[in-house]
A and B are shown apart, each in its own frame.
Chain A
Amino acid sequence: MSMKKGVPSPGRVLLLILAYGLLILSWHISHGSVLTEEALSILAGQHVLEGKAGFTYNGHGGNPGNSSLSYADPLSMGRYGSPCFDAPRLILAALGDKFGGLPGARVTGVLSGIGLAFVMYAAGKILFSKKIGLFSAIIFIFSGIPLYLSKIATGDIYTAFLLGSSFLLILFAGKQASSRTAGLLLAAGSEVLFVAVMTRYTVAIFGLPLFIYVFWRHGAVRTIAFFLLPLSIIAALTVYFSLLPPWETMLASMFNLYRGAGFPLDTLTSRVLQFIAMHYLLAVFGMFHAEGGRTAILLAVLSLPMVLLQVVSNGSQAIAENMIYCIVFLTPAAALGVDKMGILFSTQIPSTWVRPFFTTAIFVVLWVFGLDQLRWLERQHPDMSPVFSFLMAEGSRGMTVTIGSERPGYEHSYRYHLERLSPAVSRIPLSFLTAAPPGEQGIDTRFELLAEAPVNIGEEPVMEPAVEKRPDFIILHEDFERISPVSTELYYAGQDYVLARAFQIPSFSGLENVKLFKRRLS
């Protein structure tokens, strides 16, 4: 692409885009309270740094925000031990937290986000042109989901970066004249793809389409030698040493979840497309572009498996998180679509300013749309800061706390904050006690079992001394309007506990109730 006089070079424009990305991602980075997955990442990173034996967190086991297959992630079965492909990110998150608190931990997301923006530029450039590459980077940095996921310290954007890098390496291999270089790049692409899969199990769904793409572009011999073979070797090793032992547990987890989910198809489709409809809409325009329309179709097809997985698996959670992987493939196609829309809207008016004007106008719309989507996504997670502040103010060193919620994992958020107050705070997660068979599960049962709850997740269950049966605080946290242990408040109130404070936390579904009960002083 030749650049006209007075027009900055693509390199400078890219720097400007990345600088804007850095700015927007750093802006208000301390928003809200810590998310469950963020807390998990930071705590796991701390474990690694502290060199704790029997490292128990291997990714995102407690992440409720994944589709059903990711629930079955064997890496969540911490007790078996497995290679931690997430380790670099976890360590960075822990280090960031150590030096900069929660915003520091979130820098990991920012780095992955900026990295992925560059990957989008490079992919757009290889597939189409420098201009489309720049458009890709802009669209990515203007989109709500990438912004949201890059501003938090979870693993989604990291995995997306790995997936994008793998795709980029595969694309780059296709541009090489030397078959040796192409082969090496393909091998690197396959390894990075595997790492991406290991950090987020659902990404495996892209394995087959990428294999077909490589096969189509490079032929059978090169695909087998440089793509399939390296992938098979590392996969076999990982399966043998890490995945095979928990295989049955993993399958059971998958089927249990599949049986448990039951969203109507149209509701689920709407939810899925809510996050990527704009990208698909732009990509449709890209498909009609005279130069590269077919590639846009190919990219849209590559993005589809995740949508299908989400719909077929009936998984209703973590849709936004999973759709980032679609966006990796869709963004260059959407960029081509913006270019096509610029051509279309300028209706062949022979003035040099018209097309840039309309293209800019389209980007302005996308920018506002993205910011609004970011705002919406940030509202999804309730800001628990008032609860934490209350506990910090009312609590004391060595206190014991029990957290009751239908949502597994909230305890990690509380833990993250309570450990600021005192590393000695013990947590007795009430949610672990709800596993009793239906009919047998009652308030009494729960309470009786309380004493036998493990105090640390992932560690071998430790029987608490009898004196610790009664925690200092009981936190009852409603989740997604589901029936929650909050209904048990009267029971606790009638026993040894008194309601210390009730919070109503605004969330996307309305108000979430959080009630804190304090043990009566005897």
Chain B
Amino acid sequence: MKKTNGKIESVRRLIAIVAVVVTVIYLYWRYVYTFNPNAMFFSWSLFGAELFGFVTTLLFYFSVWKLPKREAPPPIPGRTVDVFIPTKDEKVSILRKTLLACNDLKYPHRTLVLDDGSRPEVKALCEELNCLYLARGNNEHAKAGNINFGLQHSTSEFVAVFDADHVPLPHFIDRLIGYFADEKVGVVQAPQEFYNVDSFQHRVDPKHKTIWGEQYLFFSLIQPGRDRWNAAYFVGSCAMLRRKALDEVGGIATGSLIEDMLTSIRLHAKGWSSVYHNENLAYGIAAETLKPFHIQRQRWGVGSWQVFFKANPLFIRGLTLPQRLCYLSSIIYPLEGFQKLIFYLTPPIALITGVLPMRALDVDYLMHFIPYFAVSTFAFNEMARGFGGQVMLEQFSMGKFFTYMKTIVVSLIPRKGKVFKVTPKGESDTSYTPVTLIIPQFIVLFFSLGSMVWALVELLLGYRGDSFVVAVNCFWALFNSGLALAIVQYDYKKLFQRRGKFRVPDTVPVLIQVAPDEKAPQHLAVADNFTEEGLSLFIIGQIPIEKELQLHLILPGKTYRVRGQVMQQRSVTADHHTLSHVGVKFSGVDQGTKDEFSRYIHESAISKFMKEYFTHYKTYLEKRFMDKQRFHERAYRALAYLPVISRAEAGKHTYGVMKDVSETGLLLASRVRLAPGSPVTMDVILDRQRLPLEGTVVRDFFLESEEFPEYLVGVQFDKASREKVPHLLGIADKVGAFLHG
């Protein structure tokens, strides 16, 4: 958990209280004075939607009122742990990465693959990677039944559960198992982080190095907040459970599509505690397009209603009041679908019919609405601690509203043989979105824009005189149109994305040589992202398409020699240099090397990349009142990846990558440690030229992975080198613009 200033937290809570009071006053005023007697249904609908928003906001404030700060306790040695990987129809290539990572888990354990698909290729994979394979031959109770089957074949004290696409870091168990020293702890949950940030549920800004994820609010804020109330719950993956606790509640709960939450409710009701350890310890694959997203959210929504009707936390014995409230907020959220529908339909109805869900949409109304809206938005953003992103949340509400509405219908209509649908992930052929899935958004888009045009034409022709009402509703309709358009656009973009697999951004020095000429000169370049199948190179110069290359990938700790072929190239000319981005596909790479690449990517590159990006923005209070040193304005830095050959005092040279450069220094990704205070000599490679620079190391950071050691080194230029910097900055600016748009 990010350290937060205590005073800011107090101010936040005060603002939240003010917002609640203001909202109560506003809602009272709405109820008493504003209902349109000629449109009572319409009035009640909008009021009901606002009221629902208030209730969910109250529950949200309650959940995140205070955030605990947890430090992982030291691991308790000598315990038995089984790692369960339930799977059904996920691709073997995806499962392979997870199993490779499970084998790298440092804490002694067994890995059990629970294959509900009973697939021979999975069995073969398990044999190859020395994992235990279990298949029960039926799919009864879906994932819950599968894990319970695993429990029947396990005698370990603890089980760790990962979805097939969740690749754990080597220290996963070490970080979590210490919490079980407290005998009351039944489950320890870590966040579910996803690395494919080009997915439907992520928004990335490479220029400002920010990522917004739809689930960050839940995993980075709501779960830690609930942890304080002992109400953080098991989310089906990236968690460890105590066998004894599971046995006490009859194993993983069945009878709901969200078996994880139901299990947690039962554990809490029996007096077991839960812990949420807020550190990314595994990386998975997020739903890539709207279709898997829809499948996943529909399953969660239906599951919520199943819990609501069958094991309503308000009435189950043994839960504390805070636990009941936290669970309540987790199961009523699909109602948001109806709330949003009302918000989407109100402006078009008002624009077309002239009927309003209030007596008048006039200055008086706005004078009540604007302060309420401003205060509650401000309070929400502060209480969301920088994970809110309200516009983004609204965008995803637009993407989900119909799905959520469907969940209620699906839950109420009894159907035989309901099938547990696994969320399709990772290059799945079924992940494209049929147009039918975005019809609701299309309808909102065209209805909103169409009603706007209608009302404006009427106003222009003098057929109506409610210009202020029209204008305000037009703005609202435009906002809704923007939300709908975003969903349609992202899905459309994803549909035509050529790249099948997410390439993890990284900066790897690569020596390239045109094959098959072994004596051909080698050029130093930088790979700015790569997968097990290929990479993309940034070079100053050009390489013909389809050209065969010999590549020396200088990964931390080891260099790999592979062949590749240029598949595509994008070039621009800047300052007499040709800058090219070259897509290279590996050829003839053996499985062992691919596995090594996979391990590097998942155990090092992804962590580095995720740490390089900000997943939360600074709230107003943070910007305004937090220690200025933490947010002081930095000198301008050009983000540009250029290869560097560096030499420390000992004289041994090493390859690295310049990550950014300013007038006074640069940031170097180095394969060896350069101690602060030591002098360093660097050659920045620009095409066939070398730009020699000298400086002093001012700081260094070790990038976590022990097996793939890498350092981020801050170098301050000496006086002579600073004179050369303007030239470098000029090129770096061009490179940065080329790479990051």
Q: State the A residues within 8 Å of B (CB).
A: 266, 269-270, 273-274, 277-278, 281, 284, 341, 344-349, 351, 354, 358, 361-362, 364-366, 368-369, 371-373, 375-376
CB–CB B363/A348 < 8 A: no
B456 at the interface (CB under 8 A from A): yes
B486 to A347, Cβ gap below 8 A?
yes
- Could you write out 13 A-B pairs with CB less than 8 Å apart? A270-B362, A341-B475, A344-B479, A344-B482, A347-B391, A354-B489, A358-B478, A361-B452, A361-B474, A361-B478, A365-B474, A369-B470, A376-B465
Q: Are B486 and A349 in contact (CB under 8 A)?
A: yes
Residues A375 and B462 in contact, CB atoms below 8 Å apart:
yes
CB–CB A368/B456 < 8 A: yes
Residue of A nearest to B377 (CB): A288
A347-B391, A362-B475 are known; give 6 further A-B pairs, CB within 8 A.
A270-B363, A270-B364, A274-B468, A284-B370, A347-B392, A376-B467
Decide: A274 and B482 in contact? CB cutoff 8 A: no
A270 to B365, CA, bound (A): 11
Distance to closest chain A CB from B400 (angstroms): 15
For the complex, what is the distance from the CA of A373 to the CA of B462, rounded to whole Å? 11
Residues of the A chain whose Cβ atoms lie less than 8 Å from the Cβ of B370: 281, 284
Query: Provided the pairs A270-B362, A345-B479, A358-B478 are in contact, do residues A368 and B467 lie with their beta carbons within 8 angstroms?
Result: yes
Contact check, B374 vs A284: say whether CB atoms are below 8 A apart: yes
* Structural contact, B482 and A358, CB atoms closer than 8 A: yes
CB atoms of A347 and B467 under 8 A apart: no
Chain A positions within 8 Å of B486 at CB level:
347-349
Q: A278-B468, A345-B481, A349-B489 are in contact. Are A368 and B475 (CB under 8 A)?
A: no
B370-386 interface bits toward A, Cβ cutoff 8 Å, 1 = contact, 0 = none: 10001000000000000
Interface flags, B386-418, vs A, CB<8A=1, else 0 = 000001101100000000000000000000000
* Interchain CB contact (< 8 A) of B485 among A270, A349, A362: A349
Which 6 pairs, one residue from A and one from B, show the smallest C-beta to C-beta distance? A372-B467, A345-B482, A273-B363, A365-B474, A347-B482, A369-B471
- Which among B395, B478, B479 has the greatest number of chain A C-beta atoms within 10 A? B478
Instruction: List residues of chain B with CB within 8 A of the CB of A344.
Output: 391, 479, 482
Contact flags B461-502 to A (C-beta < 8 A → 1, else 0)? 010010110111011001101110110011000000000000
Contacts of A346 in B (CB 8 A): 482
A375 and B490 alpha carbons, distance in the complex (Å) = 42
User: Which one of B362, B467, B472 has the highest number of Cβ atoms from chain A below 10 Å of its Cβ?
Assistant: B467
Min CB–CB distance A301 → chain B (angstroms) = 16
Contact A345 B478 (CB under 8 A): yes
A371 touching B460, Cβ below 8 Å:
yes
Measured CB to CB, the closest approach of chain B to A509, in angstroms, equals 15
CB distance from A366 to the nearest CB of B (A): 7
The 0/1 profile, CB within 8 Å of A marked 1, for residues 555-599 of chain B is: 000000000000000000000000000000000000000000000
Considering the complex, give the chain A residue whose CB is closest to the CB of B457.
A368
Bound form: Cα–Cα A346–B485 in Å: 8
Is B92 interfacial (CB 8 A cutoff)?
Answer: no
Contacts of B472 in A (CB 8 A): 281
Complex partner residue of A277 from B363, B452, B475, B489, CB under 8 angstroms: B363
Cβ–Cβ contact B481 & A372, under 8 A? no
Specify which of A341, A354, A364, A369 is in contact with B467 (CB 8 Å cutoff).
A369
Q: Do the beta carbons of A277 and B468 come within 8 Å of each other?
A: yes
Q: Is B459 an interface residue (CB 8 A)?
A: yes
B490 closest partner in A (C-beta) = A349
Q: Determine the chain A residues whose CB is within 8 A of the CB of B394 once the complex forms.
A: 347
How distant is B695 from chain A, measured CB to nearest CB, in Å?
33
Within 8 A of A (CB), among B421-471: 452, 456, 459-460, 462, 465, 467-468, 470-471
Q: How far is the CB of B359 from chain A (nearest CB, A)?
A: 13
Q: How far is the CA of A354 from the CA of B482 in the complex (A)?
A: 9
Residue of B nearest to A282 (CB): B475
Q: Which of chain A's residues has its CB closest to B373's CB?
A: A284
Q: Does B366 contact A (CB under 8 A)?
A: yes
A457–B45 alpha-carbon span in the complex (Å): 62
**Cβ of B637 under 8 Å from chain A:** no
- On whether A277 and B366 interact (CB within 8 A), knowing A364-B456, A365-B475, A368-B467, the answer reads yes
> Counting chain B CB atoms within 10 Å of each CB, which of A274, A277, A361 scores highest?
A361
B362, B370, B456, most chain A CB atoms within 10 A: B456
- Please give, as numbers and ranges, the residues of chain A lying within 8 Å of B722 by CB-CB distance: none
Cα distance, A348 to B456, chains bound together (Å)? 26
> Are B363 and A274 within 8 A (Cβ)?
yes
Q: Collect the chain B residues with CB atoms within 8 Å of residue A345's CB.
A: 478-479, 481-482
C-alpha gap A81/B391 in the complex (Å): 61
The answer, yes or no, to whether B368 is at the interface (CB within 8 Å) is no
Q: Which residue of A351, A371, A372 has the most chain B CB atoms within 10 A of its CB atom?
A: A372
Q: What separation, in Å, do the CA atoms of A358 and B481 have in the docked complex? A: 9
Chain A CB within 10 Å — which of B364, B374, B462, B474 has the most?
Answer: B474
Q: In chain B, what residue has the closest Cβ to A371?
A: B460
Is B203 part of the binding interface, using a Cβ–Cβ cutoff of 8 Å? Answer: yes
Known contacts being A266-B364, A351-B489, is A366 close to B482, with CB within 8 Å? no
| A372/B391 in contact, CB under 8 A | no
User: Whole-angstrom distance between the alpha carbons of A300 and B479 in the complex?
Assistant: 24
Chain B, residue nearest A370 (CB): B467
Q: How far is the CA of A50 from the CA of B467 in the complex (A)?
A: 46
B475-A348 in contact (CB<8A): no
**Which residue on chain B has the smallest CB distance to residue A278?**
B471
Please, which residue of chain B has its CB at the minimum distance from the CB of A357?
A: B485
Q: In the bound complex, how far is the Cα of B475 from the Cα of A266, in angstroms?
A: 26
Find out whether the CB atom of A368 lies under 8 angstroms from the CB atom of B460: yes
Instruction: Give the interface centre of A341, A368, A371 by most chain B CB atoms within 10 Å.
Output: A368
Could you say which residues of chain B place their CB within 8 Å of the CB of A365?
Answer: 452, 456, 470-471, 474-475, 478
Contacts of B475 in A (CB 8 A): 341, 362, 365
Q: Which of B336-363 contact A (CB under 8 A)?
A: 362-363
Q: Bound state CA distance, A362 and B462, in angstroms?
A: 20
How distant is B448 from chain A, measured CB to nearest CB, in Å? 11
Across-interface contacts of B460 in A (CB, < 8 A): 368, 371-372
| Chain A residues, Cβ within 8 Å of B482 | 344-347, 349, 354, 358
Please measure, in the bound complex, the distance between the C-alpha atom of A274 and the C-alpha atom of B364, giving whole angstroms: 10
A269, B368: Cα distance in complex, Å: 14
Nearest residue (CB) in A for B462 is A375
The 8 Å CB contact of B465, one of A266, A269, A361, A372, is: A372
* Residues of the B chain whose Cβ atoms lie less than 8 Å from the Cβ of A284: 370, 374
The CA of A354 and the CA of B364, in the complex, are separated in Å by 33
Closest Cβ neighbor of B483 among chain A residues = A347
Give chain A residues whose Cβ lies under 8 Å from the Cβ of B391.
Answer: 344, 347-348
Contacts of A354 in B (CB 8 A): 482, 485, 489
A194 to chain B, nearest CB (A): 33
With A347-B486, A369-B471 as contacts: A362 and B366 at CB distance below 8 Å: no
Cα separation A369 to B468 with both chains bound (whole Å): 7
Contacts of B392 in A (CB 8 A): 347-348
Q: How far is the CA of A361 from the CA of B485 in the complex (A)?
A: 14
A349 to B486: give the CA distance in the assembly, Å. 6
Min C-beta distance of A311 to chain B, whole Å = 13
Contact assessment for A373 and B467 in the assembled complex, using a CB-CB cutoff below 8 Å: yes
Q: How far in angstroms is the closest Cβ of chain A from B732?
A: 19
For the complex, give the distance between the alpha carbons of A269 and B459 in Å.
Answer: 25
| B366/A281 in contact, CB under 8 A | yes
CB distance from B395 to the nearest CB of A (A): 5
Give the shortest distance, in Å, between B483 (CB) and chain A (any CB): 6
Least Cβ–Cβ distance between B736 and chain A, in angstroms: 16
A366 touching B481 by the CB < 8 A rule? no
- Could you say which residues of chain A place their CB within 8 Å of the CB of B483? 347
Residues of B within 8 A of A269 (CB): 363
Contact yes or no, A347 B462, CB < 8 A: no
Nearest CB of chain A from residue B313's CB, rounded to whole Å? 34
Docked complex Cα distance between A373 and B374 (Å): 27
- A368-B489 contact, Cβ under 8 Å, with A277-B366, A345-B482: no
Of A284, A345, A376, most buried by chain B (CB within 10 Å of CB) is A345
Taking a contact as CB atoms under 8 Å apart, the answer to whether B478 and A362 are in contact is yes
Mask, B100-131, CB within 8 Å of A = 1, is 00000000000000000000000000000000
